[in-house]
Amino acid sequence: MNSTSYLLGRRAALLLAGVLASLSACSNDSGTATPDDSVDPSDTPLQVSLPNPPLTPAPTPADEPEVEPGEFNTVTGFTVVRDTGERLPDEITVELTEADFLAGPLPPVLQVPADVDQSVNAIPYFEDLEDQVAIAGQVLEVLYRPIDPDGGIPGMFPKKLLRNAEFRDNFNGSKSLIWLPLQTDVGIHEFTVTAIDPGNALYRTERTIRIKVIMPEDASSIPNVAPEFVEFLPHTVRVNDPVVLELKATDPNGAVPLIEVPDLPVGATLVQHPRYEEIAVLRFIPTSAGTTSIDVLARDADDASLSSTTTIDITVLDAVDFVRPGARLRALAAQRDLPIGFAARREFYHLPDGALYAGIAAEEFNVVTSENTLNMDVINPLPGRYQFADIDNLISYARTHDMQVHGSALIWHQQLPEWMLNSNPSDRRGHMQEYIHRVLGRYVDDVSVWALVNEAIGENGGMRDSIWFQAMGEDYIEIAFRQARMTHPGATLLLNDFDIAIDGPKADTLYPLLDRLLAKDVPVDGVGFQLHIWSDFDQFDEVRTNFQKVADLGLEIHVTELDVSIPALGNSSDQAEVYRQILSICLEQPACRSLKSWGFTDRYSWRGQYAPLMFDDSYQYKPAYEALQGEL
């Protein structure tokens, strides 16, 4: 195998001599340089080369998205595309096998706090729990009776209920799992319950049983159950905006329900989703303000007499109800030479209020970043399978509205596909490099800033024990940055993390890490600061100081993920002041090159229960919005 290696450092990326030197260092089939025993290996820059042959297939024309017809989305300003190929399961997991079931019961998992003396207080346990065989169409009942050897009555709770099951209280210290498995449940399942010591809630025993569901000899004995609608939450939309409702019903027996809208809104279309057959897409344009109520019916495919109904209420407001005073944030920020942006909800153009969402965001921001779109489980869910449609659409949206695109969380310990989690550690370097190369290479002309390595530092300091760290140690960071620079020489590459803007173990880990990387000329261009904080936050001097420490290293500062949650006793005025102060610190720091909120409306925030963003869940501006206006 002849593989060419490249060494492209942050300050030497364009120096031909450095490139030639690294090329000449290649002397073996692995594509790495022969080590120089006179040099400390920890100070020697790593060399990177893509696996040859590739570990997984690269994208092909078959992975290219296709045009999506307009009746499926809320977009009017650009052409939306959608991914091709067969649908993926909702959860791509490794299924349990017959061998797993035959292996016998799983051992209990004990949680013993350090202050518990087990010779004095014995741990609770479950009596007579065994793995089960169930027959589809017949009720399974499993009794859970936790025992406290010390004579108390333990509490208990299930980790996650099986579909259509209940965990019924028998009011005698026991509970029962009651489950009617159906055709779609055939296979092996796990059900976990935790027993809690009555004297110490952290002293626990977790028991998992496996349930093997088989078909009966007579399949017709399985009862036919009426279809069920997936809950549809109320939404607020704007007059004359397209509205898209993805109507979804499920049939526990495995058939596909027929979805009907008896009284269609004027001019509406109702079409089946091209990939998800259980979804029908209703699209209409409301022309007057008020509440639009839509009755929907799901009819059983095998027995037309079995059906379920639901009513969806949509609040329609006039355009004047969404007017904000003063100038838009992007116009004000442009005068201060500070790009201001937000993280976009995945596939926002398929949301009922997608047009309103996209419209307000385009008016207010000149940068958009991907909230989850670039996570590996989205882009590369299976080896050789790629889904580029959503990031392609985000780029089209940005072009339409003259916005920059920043890429987020490319190499992260979360939201990884199952195949990667189960990969051979010796292959992970190659997998990581291929992913970086294929994604950055596709968007060289479209994405200017990348939060490349995300949350590499553990919560208590030190390096996070991610699958990347397990496979490569700290070197994975250097390898990722060198591969990214090789693929996209003009990109701004960030090390992104949370709790590094304030003093503590994570910041204490960050600066020695940066020193080590920069000493080896690793092409780190800046640091991305996540600021998921609260409205009582007051550590602004620490933020200012830590920003300056990064600036003193010659690195850029990007506020990549800002939101300010309001606790039970907090208020929106306190929240506004925190937003204002963070913006002020960024404006006074010349190295601060962008500020992005993690979303902009509470409706779609990952911390929505704490109302952390500058617009509420009905798209009304909050004091935080006015505080940003005033500071800009």
Q: Is 598 helix (H, G, I), strand (E, B) or coil?
A: coil
217 is catalytic: no
Distance CA 298, CA 281 (A): 13
Q: Which long-range contacts (CB under 8 A, 24 or more apart) does 89-97 make?
A: 92/377, 92/381, 92/382, 92/417, 92/418, 92/419, 93/418, 94/418, 94/422, 95/187, 95/188, 96/187, 96/188, 96/189, 96/190, 96/210, 97/188
CA dihedral 181, 183, 189, 193 (to 10 degrees): -20
Q: Would you put residue 472 in left (φ > 0), alpha (ψ -120 to 50) or beta?
A: alpha
478 assigned to active site = no
- Report which of 328, 338, 238 is spatially closest to residue 285, judged by C-alpha positions: 238
> Which residue in 455, 478, 542, 577 is the catalytic one?
455
Contact 296, 275 (CB under 8 A): no
Task: Classify residue 384 as left (phi > 0), alpha (psi -120 to 50) or beta.
Answer: left
509 residue type, one letter = T
In the numeric block, the tokens 């620079």 are attached to 485
Is residue 497 a contact partner of residue 462, using CB atoms and an 8 Å limit? Answer: no
Q: Which of 278, 364, 434, 561 is catalytic?
A: 561
Strand order in the sheet with 279-284: 228-229, 243-250, 279-284, 269-272
Closest CA to 487 of 428, 447, 526: 447
Burial of residue 138, with CB atoms counted within 10 A of its CB: 0-12 exposed, 13-18 middle, 19 or more buried: middle
Active site (catalytic) residues: 455, 561
